[in-house]
Structure 1
């Protein structure tokens, strides 16, 4: 679904020089590359603080810890996403409350989120799924009205904007993943939490580094969750190219959509409230198995993101076994993602289109 080798070859000179610089300094943890990346990412996203951590899952976990969420608290979130979102809520002892999604965007439905608020609700955690921003204005308004935290899961949306502002800059906290296949990805695991709150930023920096502000002085129980200098160096290079990468993804998506509009599938839809950066190009089809087989026969990759909604996962069955979220369940049964990475060429996309149309 992504060709990291092609991207590396395009950036090889820049990346090799950046990695060599790290090796020359022999400074591998919490060094100048990480500090530079945090500063550049914060400037790009329009936030005061960026705290780099070891993974996107850690970003979510540490954000919830820094915010003080714990047992007895409820966090409203989407059931149609990767499990890390709900895992992080469970890690801190809080309870995920799944509400159904908008059938057009696959993001959390704000009106259903409002109806799910109880006296135990502490936060709303929308996911900007597949690179399309969630509808943040009504979510922020209800958080303000009820004294809740808005915490954004931006794992798939680096560079996406909503109403002219970057995802991650709306909530009290924004959580990013730099897994290799992401729009902005390193060559291992990596993540980041952003915030405009000085206290939260201080907590995050302690939590990622064994609860320490000063070496060998530990104020809280923390974790070992630090982005290493090699990954930070790679991200510093790729950050310079992120707007071009995202624009190519958008061009590829529009190329597909124009050619699949009458192909018996439902292409992804943009809601017009922000800029979709197409981490995935996910269509809907009632003939998923046939379409996927046609793609395989043509030598084209495809994937199902996500085949089982979180409320139907075994790990949550005891709590949510009787819950019905029909839109999420319908989308999970019909969704199929096509290759959308920036380095795709027209011949490759035409082969994908022909396979889908011929299925």
Structure 2
């Protein structure tokens, strides 16, 4: 979907505010700005990485016209709560970045995800959410935020695990949208998260090797657990 075209056709423009997550790429925020509306960034639910309905509620003003929602890494947002807010305030709820998924691929990824979640000890595994398709299997590396996460990622790559940092800079820290806004859960996720490869074609022995590589790098750090 062309978000800018959709927003324009819905009559949004100068003076309107559109609430969206900063834990994403810049495309949606650019689409909002392109129609003259103002992007309003809010925090995420740290367990799903999706936009937090309570943060949406706290950000509503008389100028709020729409909320942009999207699945993140295959985990769906809390559409029931967000739709309730939308109905109560007459807001447009816009879905962004949603793609069709192959059922066989989803089943295979869920199987791999269950295997990883049951066996990984050196990272915090994703929390279970109904409908999660695990387009990406995103873990958190405990410790001292970004330095420890990046060191862990380098060590994993050295062991042949092609991991990736899913979001390096949140949108509210990008030059075009930078301000003084603080979004603690978004910023913590940016510093701690790491995506492990979870394509459906992975063989079980490859997933087992991923587990052994992660677990060999150490367990959860008690200091990091006490700080959450």
| TM over 0.5, shorter chain | yes
Pairing partner for 2:193 from 335, 354, 359: 335
| Residue aligning to 1:312 | 173
Whole-angstrom distance in 1 between the partners of 2:104 and 2:21: 30
Q: Distance in 2 between matches of 1:356 and 1:348?
A: 12
* 2:117 is equivalent to residue 257 of structure 1: yes
Please say if residues 133 and 276 of structure 1, whose CA atoms lie closer than 8 Å, have aligned partners that are also in contact.
yes
Structure 2 runs not aligned, ≥5 long: 143-147, 218-228
Distance 2:204 2:60 in 1: 47
Do the aligned partners of 1:78 and 1:100 also contact (CA within 8 Å) in 2? yes
Deviation >4 Å, runs of 4+: none
Would you say the 8 A contact 1:81–1:127 is kept in 2?
Answer: no
C-alpha RMSD over aligned residues? 1.4
1:28-177 pair list within 5 angstroms: 59-155=2-98, 158=100
Paired residue for 1:352? Answer: 210
For the residue of structure 2 that corresponds to 1:93, the secondary structure is coil
Count of equivalent residues: 212
The alignment partner of 1:129 has SS state of coil
TM-score (norm. length: structure 1): 0.57
> Using the alignment, how far apart are the partners of 2:212 and 2:4 within structure 1?
42
Task: Report if the CA contact (8 A) 1:280-1:337 is conserved.
Answer: yes
Structure 1 residue runs without a partner (length 5+): 1-57, 159-183, 185-241
SS at match of 2:24: coil
Q: TM-score, normalised by structure 2?
A: 0.88
Q: Distance in 2 between matches of 1:154 and 1:322?
A: 27
Q: Is the 8 A contact 1:302 1:339 kept in 2?
A: yes
Contact 1:307 1:332 in 2 (8 A): yes
Is 1:75–1:125's contact at 8 Å kept on the other side of the alignment? yes
Q: Pick from 135, 138, 142: which aligns with 1:282? A: 138
How far apart, CA to CA, are the structure 2 residues paired with 1:67 and 1:106?
27
Distance 1:70 1:275 in 2: 34
* Alignment of 1:267 onto 2:128: no
Contact 1:101 1:108 in 2 (8 A): yes
Q: d(CA) in 2 for partners of 1:356 and 1:349?
A: 11
What's the CA shift string for 1:19-60, capped at 9, x where partnerless?
Answer: xxxxxxxxxxxxxxxxxxxxxxxxxxxxxxxxxxxxxxx522
Instruction: Give the secondary-structure state (helix, strand or coil) at the position aligned to 2:2.
Output: helix
Separation in 1, partners of 2:18, 2:31: 10
Report the secondary structure of 2:73's partner residue. helix
